[in-house]
Structure 1
Amino acid sequence: MSALEPQGMAPATGGLPVEAIPVLRKGLERAAARAFKAANRDNQARRGDRMWKLSMSDLGGCTREAAYKLADVPPTDPELAYDTEARQALIGTWIHEKYLPYFAAELADGEVEMPVKLTVPLFDPATGEFTGTQVVDGTTDLYTSVMGGGVVDLKTLGAYLLGGVEHDDVREEHRHQVRGYATALRQWGMPVAWVAWLYMDRANGEVALHIEPFTEDSEHATEERVRYLVGLAAAPDAAPRGHRGPGLSWVCDGCAWLKACFGPDAEPGDSSALQVHTAPEIAFAAEKYAELRAQIGALEKDRDMYGAMVGRPKPGDYGDMVITYGRDSEQVDKEAAVEMLTLLGAEIPMRPRRGNRNIRYRPGHTSKE
């Protein structure tokens, strides 16, 4: 049944009654959310059982998830991979499908969505004897023969995050993935002299490009990465986690191995699965929290100072920096709303609030277990 059922014909001239708009809004919002879930389910269903096998994108993804896949650990939460809305990933997929063919048409021999297969020989760590091979499947975004041959990978970003990418180096997880494509293509005998990452802002389509030479060292690094992941599969529960956990990472919230990784009570969006319980663990986490809180406080003061120095100049380029402004908008004036409700004699909605947690150093004091 759809979120909104026909309610009969509206009066010819009257339009929708104003009091019905909240009902319509809620129905449309639910339909929009369900549409994302349905699109994600279709997208994942096309992948079939390949979802649970190591792919090229896993080379730079969560190492524990990669270990689970290599060890053939059954997913504990397969429905999360299907049913999560996955809006960021889906929008990125739709941009890939529409944009890449036009981009490829501008390049010599540009080919999109090329299936590749990486084959890595494995050796016994103790004896050095050959023990078999590991095959990793993947699909390149774009291959071109331009300037000796190259692989271009499109990465879409959230609104206004492009500046950070322009300033920083390529993320290592993206480097592992794209080097995997390039290594596989070389194994096929195709020339690859360079790899590139095209980062695109989903909000406005602006792009930033990173290009690196692809060398024999790059190939060796790819093979060593695969061997490292294969080694972790011997004890997948001990493999390093690649993300911060449910409630703190949308990747974890949609992971098919959420409970295997964080325990049987782990749920999407609930960070309580990360809570530790022994006194040494609590002491360690509290000390790290206090250290980071102090660093953040100092950084925020510096940020505010430099922000005041920048002010609000005209939009444009300033050296290597670009300054733009979003649209002006309105926000709820909470103080005015409370004052109005008070004047009207209406009850002010309240909700419970837990007492603030206070973490501080107390040298020389040791707690008991």
Structure 2
Amino acid sequence: MIDDPDELAAVVDEAVKKAFEEITAESQARRKDPFALSMSGLGRCRRAAAYAAAGTEPTDPDLVMTGENRTAHIGTAIHRLLLPKLARVLGARAEAPVLLADGSVSGIPGTLDVWWEKELTVLDVKTVGEHKLDKVLARGESYEHRMQVGGYALAKGARWVVWLYLDRSTGRSAQIVEEFGPDFQREVWQRIREIQRLAERPELAPRDEHGPGLSYQCDGCGWLRQCWGRSARSGTAGAQAHIAPDVPSMEIALQNYATHRDEEGRQKKLKNFWRAVVTGGGRTPGAYGRWQFYFTKPGKGLDQKAVRAEYEQQGRKPPEKEEAGRLIVRPVKK
């Protein structure tokens, strides 16, 4: 028997962790080949897609087969609850398997969320985190989502595609609708042909992510060490160094760092300026044309100045932690 509430809380927390890990293992076991190119991979990192299309043996299969993946599983649970009912209401079919003939032996497989044959419409449900729905609608669907649903539409000969975005925290939803016309079709085929070409030499394919510790996709990629070197570890930055092994490449890296550092400063100043324009004068939050603004609930943060003053009044030294030295990048003096 457990008598300590903290101990009981820790046991429950560990149980939740293990439950999600088991869900991951079970979901991966149901997949025919988690390392083959599928519809969901069309719009992701081109190097990963090239490895998949080429049939490259994964160096890090455990990164795909394990872990908690809570957000993904919660999204899957919403799909399982919503899709059958949504399809029934529309008179459509839920979770329809598709196979796009791309000229390869196996084709590109996938499972679309809803196929509404009467209206020749592919509908795909995407769940998003709290307060992310408006941002998605303002910016439009991501390239990854666009290519995935475009692949489904090619396979089914669709006329319309619908991205149905659903806020996981509130249940609020909104749609982006687009006709699957010749330009969209051409865009998807161009991506497929590009991946096929890159699959001939996948090690030369562009990296579209920033590496371990800086990219969620890299941290869960089955080809992590194949791409970033044998020292690469999921969740830990540093393997990126191998792309600048000599003085000329280091010179380029330093120049890029300085460029982005300076741009970051300029963008912050511009952001603060436009914030003052948008919120100044007591302007009322709400919709203004195609854009809107609002404020989240106010929160509380640590008042470091007050804490430091209180420690000093008590004659005590505030606790400190070791911090890494600042990185300084500047031109070499001639």
Whether TM exceeds 0.5 here: the answer is yes
1:135 is matched with 107
Equivalent positions of 1:94-243 (< 5 A) are 94-107=77-90, 109-121=91-103, 133-145=105-117, 148-186=119-157, 192-243=158-209
Counterpart selection for 1:246 from 190, 207, 212 = 212
Give the distance between the partners of 2:30 and 2:132, measured in 1 at CA: 30
What does the per-residue CA deviation read over 1:255-294, in whole Å, with 9 as the maximum and x for residues that have no partner? 1111111111111111111123322222212212222222
Q: Is the 8 A contact 2:2 2:8 kept in 1?
A: no
Q: Is the 8 A contact 2:122 2:149 kept in 1?
A: yes
Residue identity in the other structure for 2:102: V
Residue identity in the other structure for 2:35: W
**Are positions 1:360 and 2:326 aligned together?**
no
CA positional deviation for 1:134: 4.9
CA positional deviation for 1:298: 1.7
2:53 is matched with 70
Q: Is the 8 A contact 1:165 1:208 kept in 2?
A: no
What does the per-residue CA deviation read over 1:77-124, in whole Å, with 9 as the maximum and x for residues that have no partner? 1111122222332222222222223332332x2211000111123xxx
What does the per-residue CA deviation read over 1:171-203, in whole Å, with 9 as the maximum and x for residues that have no partner? 2222221111111113xxxxx211121222333
Give the distance between the partners of 2:169 and 2:213, measured in 1 at CA: 24
**Are positions 1:288 and 2:256 aligned together?**
yes
Q: Over aligned residue pairs, what C-alpha RMSD do you find?
A: 2.5
CA positional deviation for 1:67: 1.7
Counterpart selection for 1:56 from 11, 14, 39 = 39
Counterpart selection for 2:299 from 310, 329, 353 = 329
- The percentage of counterpart residues that share the same residue type is 35
Q: Is the 8 A contact 2:38 2:109 kept in 1?
A: yes
Query: What's the TM-score once normalised by structure 2's chain length?
Result: 0.88
Equivalent positions of 1:312-327 (< 5 A) are 313-327=283-297
- Go from structure 1 to structure 2 and tell me whether the alpha carbon gap of 1:213 and 1:265 turns closer, same or farther (over 3 Å shift): same
1:7 is matched with 2
Q: Is the 8 A contact 2:60 2:221 kept in 1?
A: yes
What does the per-residue CA deviation read over 1:273-332, in whole Å, with 9 as the maximum and x for residues that have no partner? 112332222221221222222222122112112222333655533333333333333333
Q: Is the 8 A contact 2:138 2:291 kept in 1?
A: no
- Go from structure 1 to structure 2 and tell me whether the alpha carbon gap of 1:239 and 1:315 turns closer, same or farther (over 3 Å shift): same
CA positional deviation for 1:338: 4.3
Higher mean Cα deviation, 202-211 or 214-223? 214-223
Give the distance between the partners of 2:207 and 2:69, measured in 1 at CA: 20
- Go from structure 1 to structure 2 and tell me whether the alpha carbon gap of 1:54 and 1:340 turns closer, same or farther (over 3 Å shift): same
What does the per-residue CA deviation read over 1:54-93, in whole Å, with 9 as the maximum and x for residues that have no partner? 1111111222112222222222111111222223322222
Higher mean Cα deviation, 332-341 or 237-246? 332-341
Give the distance between the partners of 1:262 and 1:240, measured in 2 at CA: 12
**SS of structure 1 residue aligned to 2:50:** helix
Query: What's the TM-score once normalised by structure 1's chain length?
Result: 0.80
How many pairs align?
A: 330
1:12 is matched with none
Q: Is the 8 A contact 1:78 1:256 kept in 2?
A: yes
**SS of structure 2 residue aligned to 1:60:** coil
Q: Is the 8 A contact 1:112 1:141 kept in 2?
A: yes
Counterpart selection for 1:39 from 23, 27, 33 = 23
**SS of structure 2 residue aligned to 1:52:** coil
